[in-house]
Amino acid sequence: MSQTPLLDEILSDWAELIGDDFQGYLNHCRRMSLCCIQLHDCTDDDVKKIQIAAAFHDLGIWIEDTVDYIGPSVPPAIEYLKTNGLQDWSEEIELMITEHHKITEYCSNQYPLVEVFRKGDLVDFTGGMIRHGISQSFIKDLKLRYPNAGFHKMLAKRAGKWFLKHPLNPAPMMKW
Protein backbone atom coordinates (compact mmCIF):
# COMPACT_ATOMS: atom_id res chain seq x y z
CA MET A 1 0.00 0.00 0.00
CA SER A 2 1.27 3.45 -0.92
CA GLN A 3 2.23 5.96 1.76
CA THR A 4 0.85 8.71 -0.49
CA PRO A 5 -2.70 7.61 -1.39
CA LEU A 6 -4.10 11.06 -2.19
CA LEU A 7 -1.12 11.90 -4.40
CA ASP A 8 -1.46 8.58 -6.21
CA GLU A 9 -5.19 9.15 -6.74
CA ILE A 10 -4.71 12.66 -8.13
CA LEU A 11 -1.89 11.69 -10.47
CA SER A 12 -3.76 8.69 -11.85
CA ASP A 13 -5.98 11.19 -13.68
CA TRP A 14 -2.88 12.61 -15.42
CA ALA A 15 -1.19 9.33 -16.37
CA GLU A 16 -2.17 9.50 -20.04
CA LEU A 17 -0.88 13.07 -20.45
CA ILE A 18 2.39 12.31 -18.66
CA GLY A 19 2.82 9.12 -20.69
CA ASP A 20 6.15 7.32 -20.48
CA ASP A 21 7.35 9.74 -17.78
CA PHE A 22 4.51 8.82 -15.42
CA GLN A 23 6.29 6.37 -13.10
CA GLY A 24 9.31 8.64 -12.78
CA TYR A 25 7.17 11.67 -11.93
CA LEU A 26 4.94 9.72 -9.55
CA ASN A 27 7.99 8.39 -7.71
CA HIS A 28 9.58 11.85 -7.57
CA CYS A 29 6.36 13.22 -6.07
CA ARG A 30 6.21 10.36 -3.57
CA ARG A 31 9.83 10.82 -2.48
CA MET A 32 9.62 14.57 -2.12
CA SER A 33 6.29 14.34 -0.25
CA LEU A 34 7.72 11.88 2.21
CA CYS A 35 10.79 14.11 2.63
CA CYS A 36 8.47 17.01 3.47
CA ILE A 37 6.74 14.89 6.10
CA GLN A 38 10.17 14.03 7.58
CA LEU A 39 11.06 17.72 7.75
CA HIS A 40 7.91 18.91 9.53
CA ASP A 41 5.60 17.83 12.33
CA CYS A 42 2.59 17.48 10.03
CA THR A 43 -1.10 17.50 10.83
CA ASP A 44 -3.43 15.42 8.65
CA ASP A 45 -4.28 18.57 6.69
CA ASP A 46 -0.57 19.33 6.20
CA VAL A 47 -0.07 15.86 4.71
CA LYS A 48 -3.01 16.41 2.35
CA LYS A 49 -1.69 19.82 1.29
CA ILE A 50 1.76 18.39 0.63
CA GLN A 51 0.35 15.56 -1.47
CA ILE A 52 -1.91 17.88 -3.47
CA ALA A 53 0.89 20.37 -4.14
CA ALA A 54 3.27 17.54 -5.02
CA ALA A 55 0.88 16.09 -7.58
CA PHE A 56 0.67 19.38 -9.45
CA HIS A 57 4.03 21.07 -8.77
CA ASP A 58 5.77 20.05 -12.02
CA LEU A 59 2.73 19.08 -14.07
CA GLY A 60 3.14 22.08 -16.38
CA ILE A 61 6.07 20.22 -17.97
CA TRP A 62 3.53 18.01 -19.73
CA ILE A 63 0.58 20.40 -19.91
CA GLU A 64 2.57 22.95 -21.92
CA ASP A 65 5.50 20.73 -22.99
CA THR A 66 7.93 23.21 -21.48
CA VAL A 67 10.70 23.70 -18.96
CA ASP A 68 9.02 26.99 -18.01
CA TYR A 69 6.40 24.95 -16.17
CA ILE A 70 5.67 26.71 -12.88
CA GLY A 71 2.87 28.93 -14.20
CA PRO A 72 1.06 26.16 -16.10
CA SER A 73 1.23 23.91 -13.02
CA VAL A 74 -0.95 26.21 -10.88
CA PRO A 75 -4.36 26.30 -12.65
CA PRO A 76 -5.06 22.56 -12.47
CA ALA A 77 -4.14 22.59 -8.77
CA ILE A 78 -6.55 25.45 -8.08
CA GLU A 79 -9.26 23.68 -10.11
CA TYR A 80 -8.70 20.52 -8.08
CA LEU A 81 -9.08 22.48 -4.84
CA LYS A 82 -12.31 24.11 -6.05
CA THR A 83 -13.77 20.81 -7.24
CA ASN A 84 -13.03 19.22 -3.88
CA GLY A 85 -14.25 22.07 -1.66
CA LEU A 86 -10.75 23.02 -0.54
CA GLN A 87 -10.66 26.59 -1.89
CA ASP A 88 -9.40 27.86 1.48
CA TRP A 89 -6.09 26.15 0.71
CA SER A 90 -5.65 27.84 -2.68
CA GLU A 91 -3.21 30.57 -1.67
CA GLU A 92 -0.98 28.19 0.28
CA ILE A 93 -0.96 25.47 -2.40
CA GLU A 94 -0.25 28.06 -5.10
CA LEU A 95 2.72 29.35 -3.09
CA MET A 96 3.98 25.83 -2.50
CA ILE A 97 4.02 25.32 -6.27
CA THR A 98 5.31 28.74 -7.35
CA GLU A 99 8.07 28.91 -4.72
CA HIS A 100 9.35 25.34 -4.83
CA HIS A 101 12.38 26.31 -6.95
CA LYS A 102 13.20 29.43 -4.95
CA ILE A 103 16.95 29.45 -4.40
CA THR A 104 16.78 31.31 -1.10
CA GLU A 105 14.65 30.43 1.92
CA TYR A 106 10.94 31.25 1.79
CA CYS A 107 10.05 32.94 5.07
CA SER A 108 6.42 32.91 6.14
CA ASN A 109 4.84 32.52 9.55
CA GLN A 110 1.47 32.12 7.84
CA TYR A 111 2.51 29.33 5.46
CA PRO A 112 5.46 27.33 6.83
CA LEU A 113 4.67 24.45 4.46
CA VAL A 114 5.92 26.55 1.54
CA GLU A 115 9.49 26.32 2.88
CA VAL A 116 9.05 22.68 3.89
CA PHE A 117 7.90 21.90 0.35
CA ARG A 118 10.83 23.80 -1.18
CA LYS A 119 13.25 21.83 0.97
CA GLY A 120 11.57 18.48 0.30
CA ASP A 121 11.76 19.00 -3.45
CA LEU A 122 15.40 20.04 -3.20
CA VAL A 123 16.29 16.93 -1.20
CA ASP A 124 14.84 14.72 -3.91
CA PHE A 125 16.06 16.79 -6.86
CA THR A 126 19.64 16.56 -5.58
CA GLY A 127 19.29 12.84 -4.88
CA GLY A 128 19.95 13.49 -1.21
CA MET A 129 23.17 15.47 -1.69
CA ILE A 130 21.31 18.25 0.11
CA ARG A 131 19.41 16.60 2.96
CA HIS A 132 18.23 19.40 5.28
CA GLY A 133 18.76 17.06 8.23
CA ILE A 134 17.02 14.00 6.77
CA SER A 135 19.07 10.86 7.39
CA GLN A 136 20.95 9.19 4.55
CA SER A 137 19.29 5.90 5.44
CA PHE A 138 15.80 7.40 5.03
CA ILE A 139 16.73 8.79 1.61
CA LYS A 140 18.30 5.49 0.59
CA ASP A 141 15.13 3.63 1.59
CA LEU A 142 13.00 6.10 -0.41
CA LYS A 143 15.14 5.59 -3.50
CA LEU A 144 14.81 1.81 -3.18
CA ARG A 145 11.05 1.93 -2.59
CA TYR A 146 10.37 4.56 -5.27
CA PRO A 147 13.10 4.34 -7.94
CA ASN A 148 13.96 7.27 -10.17
CA ALA A 149 12.55 5.55 -13.28
CA GLY A 150 14.28 8.03 -15.58
CA PHE A 151 12.86 11.19 -13.99
CA HIS A 152 16.15 13.09 -13.70
CA LYS A 153 17.25 11.93 -17.17
CA MET A 154 13.99 13.27 -18.62
CA LEU A 155 14.54 16.62 -16.85
CA ALA A 156 18.11 16.86 -18.16
CA LYS A 157 16.99 16.08 -21.72
CA ARG A 158 14.22 18.69 -21.62
CA ALA A 159 16.52 21.26 -20.02
CA GLY A 160 19.15 20.69 -22.69
CA LYS A 161 16.63 21.25 -25.48
CA TRP A 162 15.33 24.36 -23.71
CA PHE A 163 18.84 25.77 -23.29
CA LEU A 164 19.57 25.43 -27.00
CA LYS A 165 16.47 27.47 -27.82
CA HIS A 166 16.73 29.91 -24.89
CA PRO A 167 20.42 30.35 -23.95
CA LEU A 168 19.75 33.66 -22.19
CA ASN A 169 17.03 32.11 -20.01
CA PRO A 170 18.44 28.65 -19.19
CA ALA A 171 16.40 27.94 -16.03
CA PRO A 172 13.10 29.84 -16.19
CA MET A 173 11.62 27.85 -13.31
CA MET A 174 14.22 29.12 -10.82
CA LYS A 175 13.77 32.27 -8.74
CA TRP A 176 15.60 34.11 -6.00
Q: Tell me, what's the pLDDT at 174?
A: 63
CA distances to 14, 63, 135, 149 from 23, rounded to whole Å, are 11, 17, 25, 6
Please, which pLDDT band fits residue 1 given cuts at 50, 70 and 90? Answer: low
C-alpha span between 21 and 150 (Å, rounded) = 7
Query: Mean pLDDT, to the nearest integer, of 57-66?
Result: 94
Query: Mean pLDDT, to the nearest integer, of 75-82?
Result: 98
Residue whose C-alpha is closest to residue 32's, from 53, 18, 12, 14: 53
Maximum CA pair distance of the chain?
45
- State the angle between helix axes of 151-165 and 22-39 in degrees (0 to 180), rounded to the nearest 10: 100
32-36, 91-95, 146-150, range with the lowest pLDDT: 146-150
Task: Summarize pLDDT for 110-126 with one digit per residue, the tens.
Answer: 999 999 999 999 999 99
Contact (CB, 8 A) for 97 and 53: yes
What are the beta bridge partners of residue 83? none
Contact (CB, 8 A) for 54 and 7: yes
C-alpha span between 142 and 34 (Å, rounded) = 8
C-alpha span between 30 and 124 (Å, rounded) = 10
C-alpha span between 125 and 42 (Å, rounded) = 22
